[in-house]
Structure 1
């Protein structure tokens, strides 16, 4: 495991396995893999298993605005690791991390920032 992997794990905090995410969303693990492939969710390999930040799922659904934000970051050339860092790094001007702003239904500003990075 690289230092970057440790940084991401510490930054994100709570993780879910594919199976746990599938249960939380009421779908199959294969559907969760499809969500990851479609940039609706983001997962990384930890210990040989794909894990998803628990903060990406709330109330039995994917956090509102997350899929569009992840797509914008991917279009801007962000790797999965870079996107995770960006989503979970606190930003005093939001305030909080972008994932916290999305969860608080303040997605417009998050997407505006992600879009600005794509330019």
Structure 2
């Protein structure tokens, strides 16, 4: 995991339960169904806060996670790519997604595969 990880606020499953007002099993289902991506940090399953908007998973994230998985990315590799600045995007892919550049982000992700 890269330095990009340290520049973000991270939420644990209990944090997400409280923030999203959902049960722990529902939060884990959001992760399993790829609405959110979580990785283990210090052996604790965590999600970057930037993956949420208005106390919901960022809608643009799910399809992008599928593109990355189809391109052979592990969860750790996908997380690293999403949080690190991408030269062709000029910002991190997650910031590009948050600013409405979903098609461009997915095109870059597909080209990596």
The TM-score by the shorter chain falls in which range? 0.7 to 0.9
SS in 1 for 2:11: strand
Aligned to 1:111: 106
Separation in structure 2 between the aligned mates of residue 24 and residue 103 of structure 1, nearest angstrom: 19
- Whether the 8 Å contact between 1:40 and 1:71 is mirrored in structure 2 is no
TM-score by length of 2: 0.87
Aligned to 1:60: 55
SS in 2 for 1:72: helix
The within-5 A match list for 1:1-119 is 4=1, 7=3, 9-10=5-6, 13-118=8-113
Q: CA RMSD in A?
A: 1.8
Unaligned runs of 5+ in 2: none
Unaligned runs of 5+ in 1: none
TM-score by length of 1: 0.83
Separation in structure 1 between the aligned mates of residue 73 and residue 88 of structure 2, nearest angstrom: 21
Tell me the alpha carbon deviations over residues 60-119 of structure 1, each in whole angstroms, 9 at most, x when there is no partner. 11112100001111121111110011101112432210000111111110111122333x
SS in 1 for 2:59: coil
In the alignment of these two chains, the number of paired residues is 113
